[in-house]
């Protein structure tokens, strides 16, 4: 039984499990320096400093974040590891990249031009990553822009292109035809950059084909325990557990309703628990009437709508040792993975992680 | 045009609009000291300190938060205003309520018993709020527990019951029968507490009937600009605006797809923008393929899946002055309310507010 010292739930983050996952990627790639750490969005909600400190211990050679602000924060406690900003070279703040020794991922001709201009002014080659779009249609040079670039490669004479990268759109779906198509496109353009490291595979890509590994793999979700290959058992170690407490036990009567909108009506007398958890904690409101939480390993379905700070659950399944006020309820843990909770919420485990709220007491083990 | 100094979006919180809303509630209740501030969940995501400092200026007589941690934080910068914890008297940390001068909302017989025990030990009456459930079936004494209590009211001789309260389940739906039924139940039990203040109405309850106002109203959502009466025009002033920037413009070709899962296929050549915004910012993944954002007042529908840090949108509607990389895109503002964005995300504006992410630059005006 958890001893609650906080007034709300407890989120446990297992840094050893995270390290074990990282070491699995090393084994998978057969390399000690090919596994980058994708730590954008506060390390998928799990704490940028704690996660990157652990990855630094494991000699992680490269970090990827989404925004310049994240990069500057990470640089404030890590002055060694290269840090790349995947959302690009933000306009108007280019000198911050130089000042904090941060690698821009150049996504557009405009990104390239602005970085080149600075290189020319400084009269030195500037470290950079170029992102080529191979079918995601989100960020990176388009096919046409790529053609223009490789036809006249001296237009990037101011750049020290350290890495070229692309990103899979559908690698989580086994045998999706777009994946191999993207890989083929990437293989072609890689020929034009013999001196740059190549990076293509995200978490699922890493598990789909050794040929996708190249020099740097970029696992994010799998590092944090998510299943990179949904059609198979999860090869990763679970990193997070989440528990909260029961605030009240209630005996609801047949014919009564529960929660906002009175959306759930009781067809029989039902014992319920109201627990300290809500959508303000990132327990998505789309869990209303669908998610399951666990009491001593026994499933308790969510009844009615998820409130901002509260959730009501059905205790009918629990025949022996009925729960009491203040007892612990498991949201994520041995009975429920992030992937499983995502399914009842109608989303993906990535959003479960990045939504994890700030009222939980965070404990690192 | 917004001058981006941060690498991500900009969230503007208009404290004057919030003050105007607060003053509307004063006018609505005809009282200067009947309007409590519901500031749980970091003031619905808008910043506990900034919001409560503003409400203190306006002589707000009472704050309601959800958890003890929130109350202790608020007490650290406000040593005057009474603070109540609606999620109850957390077991094991009762003395913290005394130490920080925080009012527990007693929801259960067990809450009452533990608070009484402390009162008896200290040999003084302890300030408290009792919450009676009148049909929400979430927190508060049940009908049976209420009967037991009022039949032998001296069992709470250790309590200085300052407020009795209940909470509406369906007041946002005009003429929902449960609302008047709850009000009738509350009116009956109020007779047993002639010396306590009475509190029943939340944001919608405040607008449904003057008879629901009693001594203390508890608007939350409407304070932050949400519509308390969805079937009518919103009487409140909008408090938040949210903008972000375009990272890349792309010309997608007929037959191509966009984003994860390649879920959107283009039926014609289409110009798109990839913008700095994602579900890690609380732009819910359920906005995939459904939400609309705005460029210079012109609607840009979201295409395909929302990613963690990125969203792609359709620029086909924009015929003149086409957007460029780095231009500003409105998510919330004069073209889109929190209620409107909630509708396309399949949720309520309350979740839009509490999900507002931490990578935005927050500006208070």
Residue B214 sits in the same domain as residue B321: no
Q: How does the average pLDDT of chain B come out, rounded?
A: 95
Consecutive sets of 10 residues in chain A, 365 residues long: mean pLDDT of each? 62 98 97 97 98 98 97 96 96 93 97 96 96 97 96 92 97 94 96 96 95 97 97 97 96 95 95 98 97 97 97 95 95 98 97 96 95
In a domain, B21, yes or no: no
- The pair phi, psi for residue B155, each rounded to 5°, is -65, -10
Interface of B with A in 83-102 (CB under 8 A): 85-88, 90-93
Any A CB within 8 A of B31 CB:
no
% of residues, chain B, pLDDT over 90: 95
Residue after which a domain boundary falls, among A179, A199, A224: A224
Q: Are residues B245 and B209 in the same domain?
A: no
3-state secondary structure chain A: CCCCCCCCCEEEECHHHHHHHHHHHHHHHCCCCCECEECHHHHHCCCHHHHHHHHHHCCCCCEEECCHHHHHHHHHHCCCCCEEECCCCCCCCHHHHHHCCCEEEECCHHHHHHHHHHHHHHCCCEEEEEEECCCCCCCCECHHHHHHHHHCHHHHCCEEEEEEECCCCCCCCCCCHHHHHHHHHHHHHHCCCCCCEEECCCHHHHHHCHHHCCCEECCCHHHHCCCCCCCCCCCCCCCEEEEEEEEEEEEECCCCEECHHHCEECCCCEEEEEEECCHHHCCCHHHCCCCEEEECCEEEEECCCCCCCEEEEECCCCCCCCCCCCCEEEEEECCECHHHHHHHHCCCHHHHHHCCCCCCEEEEC
Spatial separation of the C-alpha atoms in residues A283 and A295, rounded to whole Å: 17
Would you state the pLDDT for residue B300?
Answer: 98
Predicted confidence (pLDDT) at residue B2 exceeds the cutoff of 70: no
Residues B102-133 have pLDDT tens digits of 999 999 999 999 999 999 999 999 999 999 99
pLDDT of residue B155: 87
Report the distance separating Cα A72 and Cα B175, nearest Å. 53
Chain B segment 268-327 residues within 8 A of A by beta carbon are 272, 274, 276, 278-280, 282, 284-286, 307-310, 312, 325-326
Same domain, A248 and A174: no
Other C-beta atoms closer than 10 Å to the C-beta of A250 total 22
Query: CA–CA separation, B254 vs B265, rounded Å?
Result: 8
- Average pLDDT (B283-311) is 97
If asked whether residues B244 and B201 sit together in one domain, one would say no
Asked whether residue B268 is domain-assigned, the answer is yes
Kindly report the number of other CB atoms within 10 A of residue A178's CB atom. Answer: 18
Residue where the block lists tokens 């200290």: B122
Residues A335 and A204 in one domain: no
Q: Chain B residues with CB inside 8 Å of A258's CB?
A: 136-138
Same domain, B47 and B196: yes
Binning chain B into helix, strand and coil, the percentages to the nearest 5 are: 35, 25, 45
Residues A263 and A217 reside in one and the same domain:
no
Q: Tell me how long chain B is.
A: 365
Confidence of residue B7 (pLDDT cuts 50, 70, 90): low
> Mind telling me the catalytic residues of A?
40, 260
Torsion sign, CA atoms B301, B304, B306, B310: negative
CATH number at residue A198: 3.20.20.10
Express each pLDDT in A289-311 by its tens digit: 999 999 999 999 999 999 999 99
Q: How many structural domains are present in chain B?
A: 2
- Checking if the pLDDT of B1 tops 50, the result is no
**Residue A260: closest C-alpha in chain B:** B169
Same domain membership, residue A287 and residue A178: no
Q: Which of residues 182-241 of B touch A (CB under 8 A)?
A: none
Mean pLDDT throughout B212-231?
A: 97
Indicate whether A120 and A157 sit together in one domain.
Answer: yes
The single residue listed with the structure tokens 């084994």 is: A27
Q: How many angstroms separate the CA of residue A299 from the nearest CA in chain B?
A: 19
Would you say residue B3 has pLDDT above 80? no
pLDDT in tens, A136-147: 999 999 999 999
Residue A23 resides in a domain = no
In a domain, residue B17? The reply is: no
Write phi, then psi, for A29 (nearest 5 degrees). Answer: -85, -15
Same domain, A343 and A280: yes
* Residue of A7, A88, A133 lying closest to B68 (CB–CB): A7
pLDDT in tens, B298-319: 999 999 999 999 999 999 999 8
Whether A181 contacts chain B with CB within 8 A:
no
- A-chain residues near B173 (CB < 8 A): 261
For B333-349, the pLDDT digits (tens) are: 999 999 999 999 999 99
Who among A107, A309, A312 is closest to B248 (CB)? A107
Note whether B215 and B321 are same-domain residues.
Answer: no
User: Can you give the pTM of this predicted structure?
Assistant: 0.96
Neighbours of A322 (CB within 10 A): 12
Segments forming the whole domain that contains residue B252: 240-364
Shortest CB distance from A325 goes to which of B108, B133, B351? B108
| Residue linked to tokens 């700095």 | B276
According to the model, what pLDDT value does residue A116 have?
96
Tens of pLDDT, residues A54-100: 999 999 999 999 999 999 999 999 999 999 999 999 998 999 999 99
Give the CATH number of the domain where residue B255 resides: 2.40.37.10
DSSP B294: E
- Chain B residues within 8 A of A139 when measuring between CB atoms: 247-248, 274, 310
Q: Which pLDDT score is estimated for A5? A: 55
Q: Clarify whether residues A157 and A94 are in a common domain.
A: yes
Please report whether residue A15 resides in a domain.
Answer: no
pLDDT at B133: 97
């Amino acid at each position: 039984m958890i001893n609650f010292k906080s007034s709300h739930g407890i989120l446990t983050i297992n840094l050893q499990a995270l390290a074990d996952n990282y070491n699995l990627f090393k084994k998978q790639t057969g390399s000690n320096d090919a596994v980058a750490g994708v730590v954008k969005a506060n390390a998928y909600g799990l704490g940028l400093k704690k996660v990157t400190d652990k990855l630094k211990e494991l000699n992680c050679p490269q970090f990827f974040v989404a925004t310049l602000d994240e990069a500057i924060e990470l640089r404030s406690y890590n002055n060694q590891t290269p840090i790349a900003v995947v959302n690009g070279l933000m306009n108007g703040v280019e000198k911050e990249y130089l000042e904090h020794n941060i690698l821009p991922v150049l996504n557009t001709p405009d990104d390239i031009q602005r970085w080149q201009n600075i290189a020319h002014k400084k009269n030195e080659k500037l470290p950079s990553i170029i992102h080529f779009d191979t079918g995601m249609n989100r960020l990176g040079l388009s096919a046409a822009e790529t053609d223009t670039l490789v036809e006249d490669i001296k237009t990037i004479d101011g750049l020290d292109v350290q890495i070229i990268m692309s990103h899979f759109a559908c690698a989580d779906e086994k045998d999706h035809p777009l994946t191999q198509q993207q890989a083929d496109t990437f293989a072609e353009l890689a020929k034009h950059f013999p001196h740059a490291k190549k990076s293509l595979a995200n978490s699922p890509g890493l598990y789909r084909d050794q040929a996708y590994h190249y020099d740097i793999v970029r696992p994010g979700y799998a590092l944090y325990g998510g299943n990179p290959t949904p059609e198979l058992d999860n090869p990763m170690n679970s990193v997070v557990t989440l528990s909260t407490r029961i605030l009240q036990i209630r005996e609801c009567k047949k014919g009564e309703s529960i929660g906002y909108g009175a959306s759930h009506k009781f067809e029989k007398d039902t014992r319920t628990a109201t627990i300290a958890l809500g959508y303000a904690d990132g327990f998505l409101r789309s869990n209303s009437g669908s998610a399951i939480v666990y009491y001593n390993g026994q499933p308790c379905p969510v009844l009615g709508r998820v409130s901002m700070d509260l959730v009501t659950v059905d205790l009918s399944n629990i025949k022996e040792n009925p729960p009491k006020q203040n007892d612990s309820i498991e949201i994520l843990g041995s009975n429920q993975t992030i992937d499983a909770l995502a399914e009842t919420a109608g989303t993906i485990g990535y959003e479960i992680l990045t939504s994890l709220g700030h009222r939980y007491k965070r404990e690192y083990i």
